[in-house]
Amino acid sequence: MPKQQAKSIDEVRQEWLPRAEALKEAIIGKYYTDQAGHGSAGREGLGIYGIYQERLARKKIQLAVKLLKRAGFEVTTGNIQKVTRQRRDTIAYY
């Protein structure tokens, strides 16, 4: 007999949203803090920003996996996408 889920995917998403926003503020905020004293870095600066964005995407997916497991859902690309609304290739990458 399959395990009964206490929450729906939408409820998991509602739990994920404020946590994901906090991650965004922490990670992207750190980028701006680190860059504040360095000025504009041109193309190099865009590359560094991309690194922070990748870190954020990875952390958001990891958070979704954790919450899905806790709620008793199977961790699939489809379920992660329902929670995060990220592209499937991004999810598969991380």
pLDDT 10s digits, 56-66 = 999 999 999 99
Question: CA-to-CA distance for 90 and 25, rounded, in angstroms?
Answer: 20
Dihedral angle, C-alpha 87, 49, 54, 31, nearest 10 °: -120
Q: 26 pLDDT band (50/70/90 cuts)?
A: very high
Q: 1 pLDDT band (50/70/90 cuts)?
A: very low
pLDDT above 70 as % of the chain: 82
Q: Which amino acid is at 37?
A: G
Q: What is the pLDDT of residue 40?
A: 57
Q: Where are the domains of the chain?
A: 9-93
pLDDT 10s digits, 35-56 = 766 655 555 666 788 899 999 9
Question: CA-to-CA distance for 15 and 38, rounded, in angstroms?
Answer: 36
